[in-house]
């Protein structure tokens, strides 16, 4: 589906949703509840990268975002748009970059049994939800496209007692839906201007007709609550050039998340496989062609080589500290560890460990992270090949990040 057809389909869905919402909103307003709510955030950060002297202690703008939610009991909708500005320190080019892109945009219907059907761009129901991490940088699964990942299609969800099921069919990965940038020279083209990591059409491949199913069972355990779950994914790995062969992609995950008083635990293991003959990508703006063992993925204006096949392991611990200190409360400390084990011979595995604390005061939220990583493109040196072959002479690093945001 080309971008014009995709955008037209989205606009048609939004128009239909607006008609339905306007008809149903009157009854909600009569009951005294406003079904439509807006939200947003403005964030900045201070960072220090052990391998980059230009990025040590300088405050940077992070993002401004605006979203909405609609829920009148029957009809549902939600959307969020994000704006980012990168300085030249962040782009590594002679000047900075600006971009705008959609995180999610969907409309849905709630049935009498409380099950829901959604259509639009929405989070893929795979793995621990909503996040398999607690830190700002998320886990290795995010960089491979298996955490906090959004795509275009339909999704059905239902809860029966402690059993929660999600099924989704995603004809498109959404590409750069409602995106804009005037900085394609500093970024890896418009196809990289999106929220979550996907294969890039500009390098000859795209994700199509993806089926995702997730099953979770929640139950009381050891004085707390636990969810055990499994997720599966299967779809087409479509070639957008006759120089490449089409293929398939598959992934499966087992996951558990538990809360026991103030203590929280998350464990997940993922196996993924991008199956194709020949090269994994064409040559593009930033990289030469990938061979049979790697593919090109992109998000937030950047792109990276990724091992075409591998396993991802995640182990996270959290502890909520009760009470307050002055105006601050909701303290939580955490340690998030994850690893990408690459299947190709000669590929060096990727690791990251992020320890941190988050706390809040009114609408203000502060996240402080200290990351140690090896072969991780944003937490260690070796950008571009870190998630692929890895193993550069200097492949380990440390990153400090303090993110300060106001949410409304």
pLDDT tens per residue across all 408 residues of the chain: 444 444 444 444 443 444 444 444 544 544 568 999 999 999 999 999 999 999 998 899 999 999 999 999 999 999 999 999 999 999 989 999 999 999 999 999 999 999 999 999 999 999 999 999 999 999 999 999 999 999 999 999 999 999 999 999 999 999 889 999 999 889 999 999 999 999 999 999 999 999 999 999 999 998 899 999 999 999 999 999 999 999 999 999 999 999 999 999 999 999 999 999 999 999 999 999 999 999 999 999 999 999 999 999 999 999 999 999 999 999 999 999 999 999 999 999 999 999 999 999 999 999 999 999 999 999 999 899 999 999 887 899 999 999 999 999
Q: Is there a domain that residue 360 lies in? A: yes
Using CA of residue 265, residue 353, residue 63, residue 45, what is the dihedral sign? positive
At which residue do the structure tokens 């500005």 appear?
85
Q: Is there a domain that residue 268 lies in? A: yes
Q: How far apart are the first and last CA of the chain?
A: 36
Q: Is there a domain that residue 13 lies in? A: no
Q: Is there a domain that residue 4 lies in? A: no
Which residues, at least 6 apart from 144, have a Cβ–Cβ distance to it below 8 Å?
Answer: 197, 270, 272, 297, 306, 310, 312, 340, 387
pLDDT, residue 32, reads 63
- pTM, two decimals, is 0.90
How far apart are alpha carbons 198 and 298 in whole angstroms?
6
Q: Of 282, 309, 272, 278, which Cα lies nearest the Cα of 292? A: 278
Q: Is there a domain that residue 3 lies in? A: no
pLDDT, residue 20, reads 46
Structural domain for 317, as ranges? 36-407
Q: Is there a domain that residue 80 lies in? A: yes
pLDDT, residue 273, reads 98
Whole-angstrom CA distances from 108 to 6, 156, 173, 332 are 18, 9, 19, 34
Q: Of 159, 153, 133, which Cα lies nearest the Cα of 233? A: 153
Q: Is there a domain that residue 15 lies in? A: no
pLDDT, residue 7, reads 40
pLDDT, residue 8, reads 41
Q: Are 183 and 201 in contact (CB under 8 A)?
A: no
Domain of 397: which CATH number?
A: 2.40.160.10
Domain count, the chain: 1
Q: Is there a domain that residue 177 lies in? A: yes
């Amino acid at each position: 589906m080309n971008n014009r057809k995709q955008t037209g389909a989205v606009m048609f869905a939004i128009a239909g949703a607006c008609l339905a919402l306007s008809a149903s909103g009157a009854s909600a307003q009569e009951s005294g509840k406003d079904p439509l709510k807006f939200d947003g955030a403005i964030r900045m950060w201070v960072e220090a990268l052990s391998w980059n002297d230009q990025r040590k202690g300088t405050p940077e703008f992070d993002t401004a975002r605006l979203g909405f939610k609609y829920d009148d009991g029957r009809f549902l909708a939600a959307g969020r748009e994000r704006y980012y500005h990168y300085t030249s320190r962040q782009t590594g080019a002679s000047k900075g970059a600006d971009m705008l892109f959609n995180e999610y945009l969907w409309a849905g219907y709630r049935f009498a049994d409380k099950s829901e059907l959604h259509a639009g761009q929405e989070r893929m129901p795979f793995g621990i939800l909503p996040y398999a991490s607690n830190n700002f940088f998320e886990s290795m699964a995010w960089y491979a496209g298996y955490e906090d990942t959004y795509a275009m299609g339909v999704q059905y969800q239902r809860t029966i007692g402690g059993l929660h099921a999600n099924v989704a069919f995603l004809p498109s990965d959404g590409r750069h839906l409602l995106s804009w940038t005037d900085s394609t020279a500093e970024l890896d083209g418009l196809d990289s201007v999106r929220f979550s990591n996907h294969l890039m059409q500009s390098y000859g491949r795209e994700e199509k007709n993806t089926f995702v199913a997730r099953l979770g069972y929640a139950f009381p355990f050891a004085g707390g609550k636990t969810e055990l779950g499994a997720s599966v994914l299967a779809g087409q790995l479509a070639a957008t050039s006759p120089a490449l062969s089409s293929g398939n992609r598959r992934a499966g995950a087992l996951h558990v998340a538990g809360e026991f008083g103030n203590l929280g635990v998350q464990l997940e293991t993922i196996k993924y496989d991008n199956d194709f003959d020949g090269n994994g990508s064409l040559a593009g703006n930033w990289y030469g062609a990938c061979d049979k063992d790697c593919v090109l993925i992109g998000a937030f204006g950047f792109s990276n080589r990724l091992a075409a096949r591998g396993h991802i392991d995640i182990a996270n611990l959290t502890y909520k500290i009760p009470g307050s200190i002055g105006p601050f409360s909701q303290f939580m400390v955490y340690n998030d560890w994850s690893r990408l084990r690459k299947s190709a011979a000669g590929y060096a595995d990727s690791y990251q460990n992020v320890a941190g604390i988050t706390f809040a005061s009114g609408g203000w939220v502060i996240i402080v992270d200290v990351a140690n990583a090896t072969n991780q493109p944003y937490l260690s040196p070796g950008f571009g090949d870190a998630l692929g072959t890895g193993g550069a002479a200097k492949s380990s690093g440390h990153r400090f990040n303090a993110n300060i945001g106001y949410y409304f």
